[in-house]
Chains A and B, each alone.
Chain A
Amino acid sequence: MDLSGNRFAGYAALAVLAAGLIAVPALDLPAFYVAFLFVLYYWVALATSWAILSGFAGYWSFGHAAFFGTGVYASATFAAKLGVPFLLTIPIAALLAAGLGAGVGFVVFRLQRLRGELFALMTISVTFVLATVVSNTPIDGGLGVYLISVQVPEVFGSSTGTFYLLGLFFAALSIWTAWKISRSKLGLGLFAIHDDEDVAEVKGVPTFRYKIWAFAISSGIAGAVGSVYAIYVSYVTVGDTFDVTVIMYPVVMTIFGGSRHWLGPAFGAVIIEAALYTAAAGPEASIGRAIVALGLILTVLLLPSGVMPSIVRLWRSIFPPRKVTYRATAPAASATASAADGAVLTIDGVKKSFGGVQALKGVSLEVRRGEILGLVGPNGSGKSTLINMITGHYPLDSGTIMFDGVPIHELPAHDIAALGIARSYQIPRPFDRLTVRANVALSGMFGAGKLDDEASVYGQAQHWMEFCGIANRADDFPPQLNLHERKFLELARALAARPRVLCLDEVLSGLNHTEVDAALDLIRRIRDNGTSIVFVEHLMRAVVALSDRVAVLNEGELIAVGTPEETMRDPHVVRVYLGDAHAA
């Protein structure tokens, strides 16, 4: 552990803060301050837990109240009606809420189209359904549940101390969880999902699993918070629990504070709650709320990513972070299983249609180990679709694809990526809100290389960035790069995954003559390292110069395959490209 001054000072400050907050109930402060801090804590926990899925991955949930309510009524039922000791009801509540979240996610994250909105609708619906069930069954029944008789262990001499400490615990837990996640593989995956879920999946991020985890964690924390809230308010009702504020405030607080930063929602929660209590408490409450609302609007207009990023920028300008340099580490020897010859990828009778258009009509092709296979054909011939089939971007209609003897055509894309197939996109699709370095590192983490520790992930990322000539842009964001750099970023991302088969989709388009030469050189070096390459291209001189074999597609059918010279002279090919007059 690095015990340099900054880090140590940081931990010490945190320890002092923690001690201070824990000691609050023991001080002889007016109880309102303790209660008010509790209110801050539970909003911090609600907002931060909401952001774990909705802020990081971008799946807006309007159902946080459902999980909060699950926790509230779990404790109300078990403690007040069934006599279960209160502290025991908290983990029960958290598990029930997490289970509900996982269940909802399991159902809705399978739906492919319109994911974002349908998720929002699902969460609203679950909230209404739950509220109605609770309200019309003996769980509540309409009269509310009175918890005044529930025995709560008294810390620091009263139940106030107990719920205060529980609230502090969950606020701290949620912040710590968000922090941990944002620096973990899970967090990187969630951020990638936010920017481009389909690409994340193809890069190896197990999107379905990650979303469920994030949702379950988010819901579980909300459930635990609900549990503690129940003893705070002592009389729970459906109206109060499933109120529109519980639905909307975590959203508003997160947006205000900054949705991608682990401390953003907490910051937003504290500021907004404090503002409301100051401005909106007295008889002119209505006007006070309007003033706070106006303040929110002005802040968000001026700081569109939320307040936290600006604070971070300010902090860094005062305390510049130590510049971290990464040393490039050469990746382990290529992942080619055996040096045996033969097909590494066997495509057999693959058909795919989109609506009424049949993009692939039954293509059979093999990619030999260690070769560069050029894939050419007029526009619309199915080249990109074939790449999409191989990488699992879309499911195929019929046919099989075998990768080193393993059938991959029914595997989810992230498993295919982990097995060792990577691609670059014709129009670069980097994760715009991750740095170039993070973009490359992500592939390293989730690809075939299966890297686990930070050192090798970032070390290898550095290697690939240097290999592709973009190391000087490592800390910039993709929108700041020019086209040439973005194309090479695509390449670096693909390479960092250590693929055995690399699919390049028109990687040369838009490059000038010199840049093309550099790229060709790069591609040869990649193949020499042991990677088989499928290479979609329009630029004929590149195809001819680079390919060991060429496959020609037209209108979804393979019309020729062979050496570049053979295929270029094939009359059918010539007719397809240049028209009848030039054939034969």
Chain B
Amino acid sequence: MTRIFTRLLGRAAVAASITMLLAGGAAFAQSGKPIVIGQTLALTGPLGQTGMVHKIVGEIVMDDLNKAGGLLGRPVEWKLYDDESKGSTARTQYERLITIDKVDLILGPYATEGILAAMTVAQRYKKLYIQNTLGIPHLATYEGQFSALMTGAEPQNTFPVRVLQAYADSGFTPKSIAIVTSKFASAQFNSKGMEALANARKIPNLYLEYDFGTRDFGAIAARVKDFNPDFIWTGVLGVEGHQILEAYGKLNYKPKAHLYLYPSPSLAQVPGAEGGISQTSLEDQPPYTNDPLIKHYAEAFHEKAVKANLPYPFIDSQAGNSFSGWQILIAAVKGANSLDDAKLIAWLEKNEVTTVMGKRDFKGKFHTNSVDATQIRQVQNGKWVLVWPRERALPQSKLVANK
């Protein structure tokens, strides 16, 4: 008995030593003061549900980074504050991150209002400012700002063109368009672009704006149904997409073709969402998941999202924006081999970065990519499916229009 025991003990000791050596080794490999990356996210407030997605992405990226030895041989830490979906809070918290916590690097928050408010702080301290969701690119007047989006410098002009092109490729040309948009800054801005395009192409259109806190969409839905448009462009942000679809349902109205600008990914599961399209640069499906890194992220995200109780626990465009932002930051640090913001800014101006959303540069105005590379997805059978451009979509996925 004792012999077995001693042998087991011996084996345990060896195992323990090896583990300690490895751990020590890893720690040795990333020794030194951690690099701190500071950020705020909308963890509470009306934008909270998308803030969650960004939080999970951040956790995944941090895990991977530290497992792979950190950055520049040092471990990495993520300092995250809640900005309550408010610009003023974001602005104050970034000042805290930079001047009190003295973070080495910062990443922008979620959503236009927070991004613009915090950008003034970044500008004051000349920090590299990578943001991933600014829907009004021309307001980003700070030279140290870089956009992770794939929409180019004028999404309000380019994206509506792409949408109509996508439908044209499927043989559908809407003869009337209804534009229903929230008054959230980026939603309204881009929706106005659709209105301008419709007017330029002489397509009769109905343009409606609603207050960000509107509680009941019955009358708006009735008005849209009354107009009976071929295509409905819906400038939604968050929950309103769900609410508008419910309102259509109660009127027994099925839109012929519909688009949702910045929906919550769980929109796909709403009855009546079938056929709705939206922009995307990443989904949890081939062809995207053919890339092993994306596949890895997809699995990691799914695991964490399920544990966090998200109703749509899969990566999509929103997560893609977030991953890209991180990748750009990491690429810049590695590429310039420095934490100096000026050097990082200079590096990004001259280089391309490969992100989960594709290879991209920053040569467009306001440090966006030079072309609008957004793709289009559609809700088919309760899931988002990439349908355009045709070359990227799977052969079996077609943009189904005018059902």
Instruction: Give A contacts to B, CB under 8 Å.
Output: 30-33, 35-36, 39, 132, 135-136, 142-144, 146, 148, 158, 160, 229, 232-235, 237-240, 243, 280-283, 285-286, 289
Q: A32-B100, A142-B183, A148-B141 are in contact. Are A281 and B117 (CB under 8 A)?
A: no
B95 contacts A239, C-beta separation under 8 Å: no
CA distance A239 to B116 in the complex (A): 14
B113 in complex: contacting residue of A36, A144, A286, CB < 8 Å: A144
A239 contacts B212, C-beta separation under 8 Å: yes
B98: chain A residues at CB < 8 Å are 31-32
A240 in complex: contacting residue of B96, B102, B113, B141, CB < 8 Å: B113
CA distance A132 to B124 in the complex (A): 33
30 residue pairs of the A-B complex, CB under 8 angstroms, read A31-B99, A31-B124, A32-B92, A32-B95, A32-B96, A32-B98, A32-B100, A35-B92, A35-B95, A36-B96, A142-B184, A143-B136, A143-B189, A146-B116, A148-B141, A160-B124, A232-B91, A233-B88, A233-B117, A234-B116, A235-B117, A237-B185, A239-B113, A280-B82, A281-B82, A281-B93, A282-B80, A283-B43, A285-B43, A286-B82
A33 contacts B100, C-beta separation under 8 Å: yes
B139: chain A residues at CB < 8 Å are 146
Q: Which secondary structure characterizes the binding site on chain A?
A: helix
Q: Which 8 pairs show the lowest CB-CB distances between chains A and B?
A: A285-B82, A30-B99, A235-B116, A32-B96, A142-B183, A234-B120, A142-B188, A32-B99
A285 contacts B44, C-beta separation under 8 Å: yes
Encode B11-51 as 1/0 by CB contact (under 8 A) with A: 00000000000000000000000000000000110000000
B43: chain A residues at CB < 8 Å are 283, 285-286
CA distance A238 to B211 in the complex (A): 10
CA distance A137 to B312 in the complex (A): 38
B82: chain A residues at CB < 8 Å are 280-283, 285-286
Indicate whether B86 reaches chain A with its CB closer than 8 angstroms.
Answer: yes
A235 contacts B99, C-beta separation under 8 Å: no
Encode B149-163 as 1/0 by CB contact (under 8 A) with A: 000000000000000
B87 contacts A237, C-beta separation under 8 Å: yes
CA distance A32 to B93 in the complex (A): 8
B92: chain A residues at CB < 8 Å are 32, 35-36, 39
B352: chain A residues at CB < 8 Å are none
B113 contacts A237, C-beta separation under 8 Å: yes
Indicate whether B304 reaches chain A with its CB closer than 8 angstroms.
Answer: no
B123: chain A residues at CB < 8 Å are 148
In the complex formed, the residue of B with least CB distance to A159 is B124
Indicate whether B172 reaches chain A with its CB closer than 8 angstroms.
Answer: no
4 additional A-B residue pairs with CB within 8 Å, beyond A31-B99, A32-B96, A136-B209: A31-B124, A33-B99, A36-B92, A283-B80
Instruction: Give B contacts to A, CB under 8 Å.
Output: 43-44, 55, 80-82, 84, 86-88, 91-93, 95-96, 98-100, 102, 113, 116-117, 120, 123-124, 136, 139, 141, 183-185, 188-189, 209, 211-212
- Taking the closest CB of chain A, its distance from the CB of B403, in whole angstroms, is 32
A235: chain B residues at CB < 8 Å are 87, 113, 116-117, 120
A39: chain B residues at CB < 8 Å are 92
In the complex formed, the residue of A with least CB distance to B43 is A285
CA distance A334 to B257 in the complex (A): 88
B86 contacts A243, C-beta separation under 8 Å: yes
B95 contacts A233, C-beta separation under 8 Å: no
B209 contacts A142, C-beta separation under 8 Å: yes
Q: A233-B87, A237-B87, A282-B80 are in contact. Are A143 and B113 (CB under 8 A)?
A: no
B185: chain A residues at CB < 8 Å are 142-144, 237
In the complex formed, the residue of A with least CB distance to B116 is A235
In the complex formed, the residue of B with least CB distance to A231 is B120
CA distance A144 to B100 in the complex (A): 29
- Taking the closest CB of chain B, its distance from the CB of A30, in whole angstroms, is 4
B91 contacts A234, C-beta separation under 8 Å: yes
A280: chain B residues at CB < 8 Å are 82
CA distance A39 to B93 in the complex (A): 11
A281 contacts B95, C-beta separation under 8 Å: no
- Taking the closest CB of chain A, its distance from the CB of B302, in whole angstroms, is 21
In the complex formed, the residue of A with least CB distance to B141 is A148
In the complex formed, the residue of B with least CB distance to A281 is B81
CA distance A233 to B95 in the complex (A): 12
- Taking the closest CB of chain A, its distance from the CB of B309, in whole angstroms, is 14
In the complex formed, the residue of A with least CB distance to B84 is A285
In the complex formed, the residue of A with least CB distance to B40 is A281
CA distance A142 to B116 in the complex (A): 15
CA distance A232 to B91 in the complex (A): 9
A33: chain B residues at CB < 8 Å are 99-100
- Taking the closest CB of chain B, its distance from the CB of A286, in whole angstroms, is 5
In the complex formed, the residue of A with least CB distance to B80 is A283
CA distance A144 to B44 in the complex (A): 22
B184: chain A residues at CB < 8 Å are 142, 239
B116: chain A residues at CB < 8 Å are 144, 146, 234-235
B211 contacts A135, C-beta separation under 8 Å: yes
- Taking the closest CB of chain B, its distance from the CB of A144, in whole angstroms, is 5
CA distance A36 to B99 in the complex (A): 12
B55 contacts A148, C-beta separation under 8 Å: no
B209: chain A residues at CB < 8 Å are 136, 142
CA distance A366 to B80 in the complex (A): 80
B95: chain A residues at CB < 8 Å are 31-32, 35
CA distance A237 to B116 in the complex (A): 11
A283 in complex: contacting residue of B55, B88, B93, B96, CB < 8 Å: B55
CA distance A31 to B44 in the complex (A): 25
CA distance A286 to B87 in the complex (A): 18
A146: chain B residues at CB < 8 Å are 116, 139
